Structure 1
C-alpha cells in the first residue's frame, strides 16, 4: 500500500511517499539534483513499488524547497538534515531495525557524506557526482572518452577533414583536459574519506554515462567498495533492462547484513 506522508525538518515540512511492506529492513530513496521523488521517467516510483512488493518498506521524499516540500532549495550540500529526518521518519512509521539508502548522482554524494548521522546501515550509490564540470562542458574524463571514441570512427575523421567540427568547442575541451591534470578534487577526497569511515557501500555505474566516467577517473580507492557496471548510457537507468538490473542490485543489498 502506498500513501502520501509529511514530516518536519528544521521548521519546514517535507513531503514523501511511503510504500508499506512487512520487512524489518527498509529502503530510503534520496533524489538527485532538483529531481522530485517520483524520479526521471517515474523511475523511482516504479522502483519503490517493486522493492515493496518484495517485502521491504520504501520511503521517497522531496528535500526542502523541492516538489511538495516547503523551504528553500540550497542543493545537496545542505541536505544532511533532510536525510536524517527522512531516515528517522521511516523508522518511526515502519519499525525497521536496519536501513539501506539509495541515491543517484549528487544524492549518492550526499548519502556518502551524511549517512552516518542518519544512522543508515548500508549504501547503494549510483553514478556519484564527485567531479564538478567546467562551465557548460562535461567532466574532463568524459571529454577524453568521447574523443577516444570519435578518433576510432572513420565518420568523425571525415567530419574533421571537411570542416564539420566545431574547433572552438574542441579547443575548449582540450583546455579542460589539460587543466584537470593540474587541479585537486576536494569533493572526491571528502567522498572517499566519508566512505572509508562509514557504512558499507555498493557503487552502481552506467558505464557510458558522463558522470560515471568522471567518477571512475577520479576514484582511486576501489578496494573500499563493490563496483557494479551496467552497459548503459542512461544516467537514470532508463534504457531497456536497466530498471530490472537496478532493482536486483538493491534487492541484493537489502538482503545482506
Structure 2
C-alpha cells in the first residue's frame, strides 16, 4: 500500500486528507470499493489512540483503498469548525476526491463513529448519492435532552447507587448529598419531558433545514431511504451506544432500520474501542462488510 497527503477542496476551503491506496489482485480484490472514514467529535484524522490511522492501514493491507480527512476547522484544514450535521458538502467533495485520485473505485462505503455516523445518515438524507453502497455506523450519536436523561437514570445513577465506592465517598464526606439529590431530581424531571407524538410535527421537522433540534428525525429519514447495506457496531460500555439502542428499542421505525442492518455488539468495549482486541474486531468486521458489498452478498 501507499500513503500520501492530498487536499480536498470544499466550499472554498482546503481540507487535509490522507489517501491509503491498496495494491491488490486475486479473489479478495476490492479495488472498485473504497472507504471514506469520517472523523467525528473533537477529533482530527488521526483519531483517539491513533484509531483512524490503524483502521486505514488495516483496510489498505486487506486490499481496500480509503481516505480520511479533517473537516473544516479541524486538524490542518482551513475554515471554521462546523456542526456535524452541516458537513454534507465536505462529504461529497471527499467522495469526489477519493474517486478522482483512485479511478478504479466505483462505489464507496462511509465509515463513521459517534456524530460522524450521524453525519453519514444525514448525508443520505440531505444529498442522496448513488455512489454510496454501504454505511458502517459505530455508536451513532442521537443525543436528545430527554433520552440522555433516561439513559443516565437507567445506566449511570443506578450503577452509582449500587457501588461500594460511592457510599464510601458519601459517608466519608467526599460528596455533597444535597447537591447530588438536586442533580438526580433534575435528571428525573428531564427524563419525563414529553416529546411531541404528532405525526405532522415530525414530518415538518424532517422538511426543515437540519438543526440540533431535528437532526435525529432526519437521520431516521436518511436511513429509511438508504438502498445500500449497513453495518452497525455498538459498544456495551458506552452511554452514547446505549442511548442509540434505547431509541431503537422504543421506536418501531428505528427498530426496523436496525433489524435490516447487520448489527455487531462488543459487550465490553468503550466508546472508541480503545484496546487492541476491540480495535481488531472493528477492523475485521469492516473488512468483511466491504468484501460482502463487493461480492454482492
TM-score (structure 2 length as normaliser): 0.78
- Residue pairs, 1:100-249, within 5 angstroms: 100-115=109-124, 116-118=127-129, 119-132=131-144, 139-157=149-167, 159-160=169-170, 164-167=174-177, 168-184=179-195, 186-198=214-226, 199-219=228-248, 220=251, 221-225=254-258, 226-249=262-285
Shift of 1:239: 2.5
Shift of 1:212: 0.9
Structure 1 residues 177 and 190 mapped into 2: Cα distance closer, same or farther (>3 Å)?
A: farther
Shift of 1:152: 3.4
Structure 1 residues 139 and 56 mapped into 2: Cα distance closer, same or farther (>3 Å)?
A: farther
Contact 1:30 1:60 in 2 (8 A): yes
Contact 1:25 1:97 in 2 (8 A): yes
Out of 32, 39, 50, the position equivalent to 2:47 is: 39
Tell me which residue corresponds to 1:13: 14
Shift of 1:162: 5.7
Q: Which runs of 5+ in 1 are unaligned?
A: none
Structure 1 residues 170 and 106 mapped into 2: Cα distance closer, same or farther (>3 Å)?
A: farther
Contact 2:269 2:278 in 1 (8 A): no
Tell me which residue corresponds to 1:255: 291
Q: Deviations over 1:108-128 (max 9, x none)?
A: 100011035343111011111
Shift of 1:172: 1.8
Q: Provide the C-alpha distance between the structure 2 equivalents of 1:68 and 1:217, rounded to a whole number of angstroms.
A: 37
Contact 1:139 1:210 in 2 (8 A): no
> How much is the aligned-residue C-alpha RMSD, in angstroms?
2.2
Q: Which entry has the higher C-alpha Rg, 1 or 2?
A: 2
Q: Provide the C-alpha distance between the structure 1 equivalents of 2:268 and 2:90, rounded to a whole number of angstroms.
A: 30
Structure 1 residues 170 and 215 mapped into 2: Cα distance closer, same or farther (>3 Å)?
A: farther
Contact 1:100 1:253 in 2 (8 A): no
Q: Provide the C-alpha distance between the structure 2 equivalents of 1:174 and 1:244, rounded to a whole number of angstroms.
A: 41
TM-score (structure 1 length as normaliser): 0.90
Q: Provide the C-alpha distance between the structure 2 equivalents of 1:60 and 1:127, rounded to a whole number of angstroms.
A: 19
Tell me which residue corresponds to 2:205: none
Out of 83, 97, 111, the position equivalent to 2:106 is: 97
